[in-house]
Amino acid sequence: MNTTPVALGILIVGMGAVTYAIRLSLILLLGRLRVPPLVQRGLRFVPPAVLSALIFPELLLPGGTLMLSLGNVRLLAGVLAGLVAWQSKNVRAGSGK
């Protein structure tokens, strides 16, 4: 599929506008509605769940196969970064930045 640079630019800007509109609509909607306490407590777990869903497959499945051994350098690096972040109580310390 060949696309021109102009078409690609329009597509990127359009996708950005749609993403922005969706996020803005939720912000405006939640600003006017009263969210029940149960939902508020549940929403606190969304960021760690999404982060886990993004990171754990990369750590545990290099190349698409489960690898739980000392030869898995990604897993070792992830465990080390987690320990540093946990001990320092600073998530950014575990990322090396």
How many domains in the chain?
2
Contacts of residue 11, defined as CB under 8 A and 6 or more positions apart, other chains included, come to 3
Digit-coded pLDDT (tens) for 8-19? 999 999 999 999
Q: Are residues 49 and 94 in the same domain?
A: yes
Phi-psi label, residue 19: left if phi above 0, alpha if psi -120 to 50, beta otherwise: alpha
> Residue 34 carries which DSSP code?
P
CA distance 97 to 90: 11
The model's pTM? 0.56
Instruction: Report the pLDDT value the prediction gives residue 95, as an integer from 0 to 100.
Output: 66
Q: Are residues 27 and 50 in the same domain?
A: no
Residue 38 lies in a domain: no
HSE value, Cβ hemisphere, 13 Å, CA-based, for 69: 5
Q: Are residues 29 and 48 in the same domain?
A: no
Tell me which residue range forms the domain holding 57: 44-97
Digit-coded pLDDT (tens) for 66-83? 998 888 999 999 999 889
Digit-coded pLDDT (tens) for 31-69? 788 888 998 899 899 998 998 999 999 999 988 889 988
How far from 6 is each of 15, 17, 18, 19, 42, CA to CA, in Å? 14, 16, 18, 20, 43
Residue 56 lies in a domain: yes
Residue 80 lies in a domain: yes
Q: Are residues 58 and 89 in the same domain?
A: yes
CA distance 27 to 49: 21
Q: Are residues 29 and 50 in the same domain?
A: no
Q: Are residues 55 and 17 in the same domain?
A: no
